[in-house]
Each structure stands twice: as C-alpha cells, then as structure tokens.
Structure 1
Amino acid sequence: MSQKKPWADGPCELISSTRAGSKEGVKTAGANRMAEDMTIIHNLIIRILNTVYLQCVNVEKSPDDVRDFVSYAIEWAKMVEEHHHIEEETVFPQIEQLTGVPGLMQANVVQHEAFHEGLHAYTGYLDMVQKREEAYSGEKLKGIIDSFMPVLRQHLSDEIGTLLKLGDYDRDWDGWFERLIKELLAKSDDPNLKTTTFPLLLTNRDKTFEDGIYAWWPGLPWFVTLMMRWFLIPKHNNWWRFSSCDHRGVPKELPFA
C-alpha cells in the first residue's frame, strides 16, 4: 500500500490495544476481555469514520462515485446507531443488574446523547442526498463530522475504562459475556446485515494493527469467511472500495483520499 496518501488511522486516533491489556498469544479474561472486544469494535467505528472523512471532499469531483460513497457513509451511521441501541437496551441494563448498582452505566448513556445531534445531522443530510433532495457537498459532510468527532472519540475511549473498572466486581464476567454474545447473535436475524454491516466491518478490520495483535478477529470458521468473500461482500462491492482494507483485512489505499 502506498504511503503517499493519508490512511484510516487518522485523523481520529485509534485506541491502543494496551488499554485492554491485550498481549500477543495471551487470551484475555474477565473485564479485560470485554474491554478488548470493545476496543476492536470502537476502532472499527473510528477507522470507518476516518475513511469517510478523508474521502468525502475528493469524491465530489467524481459524480459517478458519489452515490456509492453516500451509501457507504450511511452504513457507518446505521452500524453506530445499532451498536448504541444494543448497549442501552441490553448490555448496560444487564451489567447494572449483575453488579447490583443501578445507574452504573448512565454516564455512558449521557455520552451517547452528547453526539447524537451531530450523528442525526449526518444521517439526515446523507438521506436527503440519497433521495436527491439536496446536492452532495463534501465540505458540508466534513463539517458535520467535525461537529461530533471529538465527542465521539472521547466516548469511545472512556467506555473502555468503564468496562475495565467492572473488574472491581467479583462476577463471572466471562460466563456473562458468552451468554450475551449468543443472545445478541440470536437477535441478529436481519438478512440485510449479512450484505451490509458484516462486509463493512470485515473490510475495515486491519489485521496489521499494532503488529497484528487482533489479527484473529472475528474468528470465523474458514467456510464462513469463504461465503462472505464469494457471496455476501460482492453484493455491494462498489461500496467497499471506499473501505480501508480488502476482504482479508489487509490495508489498501483509499481511492479518494
């Protein structure tokens, strides 16, 4: 990959694996395991937003590509909104019930609210562009992102610290986390996710991040990976050309950076 163009590790700074205590070849456990998983997800949120931010202005010079880019950018917002909905409706209440501390996660909910106005402005504008009710402007989109990016980044970092503090409570966090994942997967019955959200994440996961510390993620069986590559990613392949990585998680040049 050429190093001449800016890449998706900025301008919004990624979260270091050291925050969660991740170590090469060592399986994390308890609260650290939850913090590690959240670090991976939050870095995906940051990395994808960076791809939108870095390409939103230059893509305007290529009208034929704008429509695909807008669809790509909208998928990021949908993913973030769903992520926070799951946290507020399922994850946070269960954590508070398990610890026996009502309101323990409320600060995180307040942080969600702090950038929701900017996120709604982002989705509202892109929806209007997609419906051809407003002309696309890269500078306008960039300005909207600037309005909430710092607050979003602060929240994504702070939430890692919140999860690490759960280690102060003597609970079976590993057992709970396993049950939570199964519960969430059972609820993920929207067939569109397989051709939208999943490919969005897989093509932005960067297996080389910090010497490959998270190269194992998402740990899918080989045949699932093959199915994603052959059948699911290609459905919206024009969207994923704006992604930071290829289907294998290898960084690639951003075409409009």
Structure 2
Amino acid sequence: MATDLPPLYQDAPLALLSTPAFQTGKKDSFTMSASHMTISHNSIIRGYNSIYQQAPRVQNPTDIRDFTGYCLAWHKLVEGHHFHEEAHYFPAIEKATGQKGVMDGEVEQHAAFHAGLDAFRDYLSGLKNPEADFKSKRLLDIMDSFSKPLYTHLAAEPQSLLALSRFASPETQFDLLKIEHEEGKKMVNLDFALNVMPIFLNNMESEEFEGGMWKRHLGWVAWIMKSILPLWNSKVWRFMSCSTDGRRKRLAV
C-alpha cells in the first residue's frame, strides 16, 4: 500500500530572486556582494514559504509546538538581519562611499513591514497553549499583511548594493566584498549560531538554483553550523525547506 508522503517544498507564494552574477556573468565586488545579499534574501524567502506551506498542514499537538518554534526562529533571523544592517553594515557603506544616508531607502523599506513582523511574533509568542490555540488562518493572514513590502525590499536591496558602484572612483576606492565580510562577522554570536544559523543556512538550496553555481565546499566551521548544529533542536529545524546537502526536501508534515 502506498504511503502518503508530504509534498516537496515549492518556491511559493514568494518567488526566488535571481542573482546579478547569474544574470550578467560579472564577478566584481559590487556584483558579488549584491549576489550574496540575494542568496541571503532567498533564504528568508524560503523560510517564509516553508512556514506558509506547512502552517495549514500542522495538526499534531507536538508538531504545532515545534512549528511555532520554527516560525519564531525565522522572525529572529529577519529582525537580526535588518538590525545588523542598520547598526553595522549601512554605516560602514556610508563611511566607505562618503555618502551620508545612502542606504536610508533600505531603512525605510525595513520600517514598511516592521509592524507586520511584530504582529507575527506577538501572535506566536502570545499563544498560552499553542497545541490548542494555534490557528493557521490567523498566521497566514498576518503573513499576507506584510508579504508585499517584505518582498519589495528583498528584491530591491541587492540592486541598491549593485548601484553603489557609481561612487567608486580613483579618489574613492572601496571593496564592498571586504565590507560585507568584516561587518558580517559582527552578526555571529553563540545565540545566533545555535538559534538562527540553522534556519538561515538550511533554507539555502544550492543544487538546482542557478545551475548549482553557488554550491561550494564548506569550511569546517560552516559545515558544523550547517550539518551538526541542526541536530540540536532537530524537531524544530525539520520544518526547513532544504536538507543539509542543499537540496529541496519534502515538507515535515
């Protein structure tokens, strides 16, 4: 007798974004930084989609509690990502370009969906008894309320990074990849590694996306974060869209 298996994760309702490197074939620091941001944003998109697809399917009380934990981890990723940008990354870009407020448009985009993110977090964290009180329709309604400004921002920010090349000149030289690397290190701490990094790394599909051009050998630290850390709290991380080898997988429920 055939076993009913959950469906394979799909890139919906939000579509993935294409990287500038894939579109143009260029590998300069502006193109690559914008592409890295696109890949990060695609992880956020897959996280959103994985929640949206599985919320109506979660029925078992134990699954519901684990699923709400997954949802809150996704929220923590998005909020942490944007806090880091505003506190560290954007000021470093301003300093390098000599252009005060050059990333203010991105800050305004963050603000456009912040209330929706707050409502998402407050609904889930406010459930006294998640097993009995969780209502998937309520969660999806909240997600629908901020999906458009969220997606608009996720699509626009890589283009803003790409456009920073207009400030590069013989007098003003800066390496956006170096800025990305140096400022990115400030985001990682123990709490982030344990409670956020798994959902970030394992919502990255690298086998099929853009012909597998972003599949790369992981250093041992990244390998531990991608493959070993998810073993801790694995009941929560099972709702991710991809396996640890970077392939889309079946939904958990």
Report the TM-score when normalising by structure 2. Answer: 0.88
> Matched residues in 2 for 1:186 and 1:90: separation?
8
1:212/1:229 Cα in 2 relative to 1: closer, same or farther (>3 Å)?
A: closer
Identity %: 34
Deviation of residue 231 (structure 1)?
3.9
Check the 8 A contact 2:6/2:250 in 1, yes or no: no
Are residues 1:241 and 2:243 paired?
no
1:227 equivalent in structure 2: 224
Check the 8 A contact 2:6/2:251 in 1, yes or no: no
Residue by residue over 1:93-121, the C-alpha shift from the partner in whole angstroms, topping out at 9 and shown as x without a partner, is 22122222222111111111000000000
1:33 equivalent in structure 2: 32
1:229/1:180 Cα in 2 relative to 1: closer, same or farther (>3 Å)?
A: closer
1:23/1:173 Cα in 2 relative to 1: closer, same or farther (>3 Å)?
A: farther
Unmatched runs of 5 consecutive residues or more in structure 2 = none
Residue by residue over 1:24-52, the C-alpha shift from the partner in whole angstroms, topping out at 9 and shown as x without a partner, is 9x772221111011000000000111000
1:178 equivalent in structure 2: 178
Q: How does 1:81-96 map to 2 (within 5 A)?
A: 81-96=79-94
Deviation of residue 132 (structure 1)?
2.9
Check the 8 A contact 2:242/2:248 in 1, yes or no: yes
> Matched residues in 1 for 2:244 and 2:51: separation?
18
> Matched residues in 2 for 1:166 and 1:29: separation?
12
3-state SS of 1:47 partner: helix
Unmatched runs of 5 consecutive residues or more in structure 1 = none
Residue by residue over 1:40-68, the C-alpha shift from the partner in whole angstroms, topping out at 9 and shown as x without a partner, is 00000001110001111110x22220000
> Matched residues in 1 for 2:30 and 2:227: separation?
36
> Matched residues in 2 for 1:230 and 1:6: separation?
21
Q: Alignment length, in residue pairs?
A: 245
> Matched residues in 2 for 1:96 and 1:183: separation?
13
Residue type at the aligned position of 2:136: G
> Matched residues in 2 for 1:93 and 1:186: separation?
13
